[in-house]
Amino acid sequence: MKKVLVVDDEPAIVTLLEYNLKQANFEVQSATNGVDALSMAENGDFDIVLLDLMLPQLSGEQVLKQLRMDRNDTPVILLTAKDTEFDKVFGLEMGADDYIPKPFSPREVIARMNAVLRRYEKSNSDSSSNQPANKGEVETTGPFTIDHKKYRVSTGDHNLKLTPKEFELMQYLVGHENQVLSREQLLQGVWGFDYSGQSRMVDIQIAHLREKIEPDPKKPKYLKTVRGFGYEFSTGDDDE
């Protein structure tokens, strides 16, 4: 039986989801504020979390950010009244696995949960093929040193302040150095899904990473755009 944490400060929504999830054979626990949600998510060994963004004490965004910073990869589906493209991309960029705007039907929530769980299980079973080969805890390419155990990238004696997702993207790019990767490949390899229409999220994250690794982000030296195909990471001297 899959274990789900429902986080929302509206009692009617919690009751509705609890009833329908139990009918669908899920084990359900709930929280109504961000502080309790974070504690439960960190310690409760849940299979998936349904997380509202507008929460008292600690926002859903802060809860999600902290989970990902703590390397907690439990699937998270955001439940929120916000429904702009920016909000969707921002939530997914932070590490959410899906996004369901309110109002929603319990049937839709359960269907999306099952889809995320299938993707997550498949991603874990295929991790050896999706992730770059293990080259040890620390590897160096060009000016970059990647510490896979400490989740740190440095140049010389300077540590780059990367977010968890930026580190995962950098790690994936280094593992596929000198290869042209499509946006779809990056979505699958870094985010673990290949939803159509989410390629903008890749472009945004690439732009953020360039700001931190490139001497001149407007004229990238290492992380280049290959027009019509995607992106290529290379530390060679064949600058354009």
For residue 131, the model assigns a pLDDT of 47
pLDDT tens-digit map of 20-41 = 999 999 999 999 999 999 999 9
Mean predicted lDDT score pLDDT of the chain: 85
Residue 193 has pLDDT above 70, yes or no: no
Per-residue pLDDT of 141-175, as tens digits, reads: 999 999 988 888 999 889 898 877 788 899 999 99
Q: Which residue has the higher pLDDT, 136 or 78?
A: 78
pLDDT at position 213, please? 95
Specify the residue for token string 């805890």. 137
Domains of the chain in sequence order: 3-125 (3.40.50.2300), 138-233 (1.10.10.10)
Position 196 confidence tier, pLDDT thresholds 50, 70, 90: low
Evaluate if residue 88 carries a pLDDT over 70.
no
Burial 221-233 (b: 16+ CB within 10 A, else e): bbbbeeeeebbbb
Residue 197 confidence (pLDDT) above 70: no
The answer, yes or no, to whether residue 14 has pLDDT greater than 90, is yes
Identify which of 198, 196, 153 has the alpha carbon closest to the alpha carbon of residue 171. 153
Q: What is the mean pLDDT of residues 223-227?
A: 95
Give the strand order in the sheet containing 98-101: 27-31, 3-7, 48-52, 76-80, 98-101
Q: By percentage, how much of the chain surpasses pLDDT 90? A: 51
Query: What does the block give as tokens for 102?
Result: 């309110």
For the segment 219-238, the average pLDDT, to the nearest whole number, is 89
In the chain, % of residues over pLDDT 70: 84
Residue 148 is predicted with a pLDDT of: 85
| pLDDT at residue 198 greater than cutoff 70 | no
Alpha-carbon span 116 to 122, nearest angstrom = 10
pLDDT band at residue 239 under the 50/70/90 scheme: very low
- Rg of the chain over CA atoms, in angstroms? 19
Angle (deg, nearest 10), helices 11-23 and 106-125: 60
Terminal-residue alpha carbon distance, the chain = 54
Helix 85-94, helix 199-213: angle, nearest 10:
60
pLDDT at 237 over 50: no
